[in-house]
Structure 1
Amino acid sequence: MWIDGLPSGVLDSSRDEPLHRQLSEVIRQGIAEGALPPGTRLPTEADFQGKFGISRSVVRQAMAALTNDNLIQRGRGRGSVVAPQHEHHRAVQKMSGLSAQFSNSGDSVTTEIISLERAADPRAQKALGTSELLALNRRRSVDGESIAIIHTWLPLSLVPGLEAKDLVDSSLHETLRARFGIPVTAGHRQVRAVSASAELSASLAVPLAAPLLVLEGTSCDDQGNAIEYFCTWHRADRVVFDVEAISDPPGSRLLSTPKQTSLPQNGAADATDLSETARSIATQMNDLAKRMSRLG
């Protein structure tokens, strides 16, 4: 049984963290690592009490927290079992955004606009070549559950008259195409793992320091012009990134990450260099798409 392999000292009453939270984190880890797959019956309250020397109330508080997070299911007379996984898959190499991909899978996707205002950001200014920026903060939910926080910066001159109401439960990329005539055709993406800050913990309803997957990068139009810089924090327990892997033809060289253009000392970006960088990104993405098509 899973509980038999746990050290008895894994719960420590001398720590600041309450025992019920320590216990729930031990079970969360077991679920995340696959030691407790969906459908697994959890140990009984008596099993947990005997193993760790804790009270029944501690066990019940831990189980209540896991139930509220939809990680376990409890029923009278059948104990607690690990709930089915609700994973949402996102293809990182596709230009279509989270909203379009999840909607295509049949899930109910909603978008809440947290804020839309003029705001500066050094990374966005460097990527987009202007300090005149519109900052858009959104929360995406699937079937009523928050799964992603999206921060996006756009050149103010590209989206005159854009209002928050225009983007509620809508795709930004589709809005750019349909309303402003700006197609999103290429881009550069990076993925990294971070822990949830207090703000992200509250926004995504996850524990403080819970694992998150961050997708960040720049998107370009069909002329290679950078039109968007974004950072999206995804719940790692709900979202899976899918990547199509292909073999390189003999003698080919790996594509390198495009060189980032630095801002001049006066703070104004060199528009020519930024344009060349964006065109390089678009060309590389198009070349990769052609190679994948031939191999398919």
Structure 2
Amino acid sequence: MWLDEVPAGAVNAANGSPLHSQVGAIIRSHIVNGQLPPGSQLPTEAELQERFSVSRSVVRQALAALSAEGLVQRGRGRGSVVSPRGEHHRLVQRMSGLSTQISAEGADVFTAVLALAPEQNAAASAALGGAEVVGIRRLRSAGTGPLAVIHTWLPLSIGAGLTAVELTDASLHTVLRSRLGVSFVSGRRQVRAVAATEGLAKLLQISVGEPLLLLEGTSLDEHGVPIEMFSTWHRADRVVFDLDVVDADAPAIAPDLAHADGRVTRPQLAAHAADLARQLHELSVELDRND
């Protein structure tokens, strides 16, 4: 049992953190890392009390906090079990942001603006072509609670007119597209695992040091001009990154040509080639007209 692997003295009143927070953090870490999968029965309050050498009230406070986070379900007569995962999935290779993708799942998304003001940030200024920048810090939540902290930098020319009111419970990309006609067309993304700092832990309602998924990147407009740099810290227990995978050596086949088993017939390929040839011919005629 996972409880037997918890070292003696793991909960210690001398470390400055409340005992119930320490107990909750240990149970939470086992849920997050998969040792306690959804539906798992937790030890009884008496077993937890004995293993951690704490009072029954401490155990109950810890379980109540985990229940409030949605990680544990408690029921009279059946003990406590690990809740089904309240995960949200994000396709990181897509330009659409977390708000748009979660909304597409049918979940309610909430965004609080924590800060919106010009900033001195050498890295952001360099990434955005040496421009003065506006920094926007937001907290994004869904039905399960806080999901991510987002820090975005925009050129002053784009971000100066934005207000906290219009960005509250809204997608930044949607606001910029509708108000200023700004299009996010391409960019580069990178993902790394980091530990929650004290500030991030407080906003995301987790313990200091818990794992976060940090997504960083820049976005370009249709002219290849950088218009956004961002860092987004996601709760690793509530957000899953999905990736579409393709074989780089495989021939590119239009999705609508393939059968369910991936086969493509010769007549389909011939029709597709003919359609491409027609489109190229029409394009060349159009270009001749514009010369």
Asked whether the two chains share a fold, i.e. TM above 0.5, the reply is yes
Distance 2:113 2:55 in 1: 44
Distance 2:148 2:187 in 1: 20
Indicate how the Cα distance of structure 1 residues 12 and 122 shifts in structure 2: closer, same or farther if over 3 A, else same.
same
Gapped regions of structure 2 (runs ≥ 5):
263-291
Q: Does 1:228 align with 2:220?
A: no
Distance 2:11 2:59 in 1: 14
Residue-by-residue CA offset, 1:70-119 (whole Å, 9 max, x unaligned): 21111222211111110000000101111111111100011111121111
Larger Rg: 2
Distance 1:229 1:56 in 2: 49
Partner of 1:173: 173
1:137-152 equivalence runs, <5 A? 137-143=137-143, 145-152=145-152
Q: Number of matched residues?
A: 256
> Do the aligned residues in 1 keep the contact of 2:70 with 2:144 (CA within 8 Å)?
no
> Do the aligned residues in 2 keep the contact of 1:48 with 1:59 (CA within 8 Å)?
yes
Equivalent residue letter for 2:8:
G
Partner of 1:20: 20
Q: Give the secondary structure class of the aligned counterpart of 2:39.
A: coil
Distance 1:292 1:207 in 2: 47
> Do the aligned residues in 2 keep the contact of 1:214 with 1:232 (CA within 8 Å)?
yes
Alpha carbon RMSD of aligned pairs, Å?
Answer: 2.4
1:2 offset after TM fit, Å? 4.2
1:6 offset after TM fit, Å? 2.4
Distance 1:14 1:216 in 2: 38
Distance 1:246 1:236 in 2: 25
Gapped regions of structure 1 (runs ≥ 5):
251-289
Residue-by-residue CA offset, 1:107-165 (whole Å, 9 max, x unaligned): 00111111211112111011001241111111111127221111111111234522222
Q: Give the secondary structure class of the aligned counterpart of 1:223.
A: coil
Q: Provide the identity percentage.
A: 49
Equivalent residue letter for 1:100:
T
Distance 1:164 1:43 in 2: 46
Indicate how the Cα distance of structure 1 residues 159 and 197 shifts in structure 2: closer, same or farther if over 3 A, else same.
closer
Partner of 2:5: 6
Distance 2:65 2:159 in 1: 43
Equivalent residue letter for 1:11:
A
> Do the aligned residues in 2 keep the contact of 1:220 with 1:226 (CA within 8 Å)?
yes
1:1-296 equivalence runs, <5 A? 1-3=1-3, 5-6=4-5, 9=8, 11=10, 13=12, 16=15, 17-143=17-143, 145-159=145-159, 161-249=161-249
Indicate how the Cα distance of structure 1 residues 8 and 102 shifts in structure 2: closer, same or farther if over 3 A, else same.
closer
Distance 2:32 2:161 in 1: 44
